Chain A
Amino acid sequence: MKCALKVEEEAKYLVEFGVEPYPILPIRIFREELEKTISTATLTDTRLDGAIVLSRSLSDFILDRAVKAEGFEELDAAGIGIPCDTCILHLYVGGRCFKVRARMPRMGDLGTILGRRVLNRLTLCLRDRQGRIF
């Protein structure tokens, strides 16, 4: 069956020794108090049912310089609760803009992870090692 979709934007895989390559997406984060726009990359993780988890450095930047935490939630990571501050952000990805609740772990660093709450709104294709798109 031939796919009628047209590739609008092609992101890359993150390759690291000993780990199967991860698909990552470029994102932009807006928040009025930040004055500037944050540009970064995020791991696409279909096993996260939230919108986005922010990396340690990004969380520290947002909380220290611009925004106070607006809530608290525990992220359930395979049965282990990770305490997270939350705040509302505007997220620009795949040519679309979303208002999301971002989770910022109080401990540790999970990196920046984009979950199904956003991914389910996008049409994502994966390219295999032979270059075919699925």
Chain B
Amino acid sequence: MGVGWKTCSRYLESLRELGLVVEVKTAKGSLYITHGSRRAKLLTVPRVRVDASFELIDEGPPPTGEVEDLT
């Protein structure tokens, strides 16, 4: 990508300042690890793809008031 080590280092430092990574200092240098990510995690990428097809049906939604909000 044509990005030098210094740029990379500055980028990691900026991520550390934002709290997105944690710096772990070792005898040979620094390691940066992510922590506290609030992204949804999909720990495996499934090989089977369900469901590529779908159909449109005329059935309407259930009556309001019975919906549980998970957003």
Contact A36-B57, Cβ < 8 Å, known A48-B42, A111-B46: yes
The size class of the interface chain B forms with chain A is 20 to 34
B55 to chain A: closest CB distance in Å?
5
Residue B60 interfacial (CB < 8 Å) = yes
Q: How far is the CB of A19 from chain B (nearest CB, A)?
A: 6
Whether A37 and B40, one on each chain, are in contact in the complex, defined by CB atoms closer than 8 angstroms, is no
Contact residues on A (Cβ < 8 Å of other chain), bracket: 35 or more
Which chain B residues border A30 with CB–CB below 8 Å? Answer: 60-61
From B47, B51, B67, name the one whose CB has the most chain A CB atoms within 10 angstroms.
B51
Which residues of A lie under 8 Å from residue B58 when comparing CB positions? Answer: 36-37
Contact with A along B29-47 (1 / 0, CB 8 A): 0000000010111111111
B contact set with A: CB distance below 8 Å: 37, 39-62, 66-71
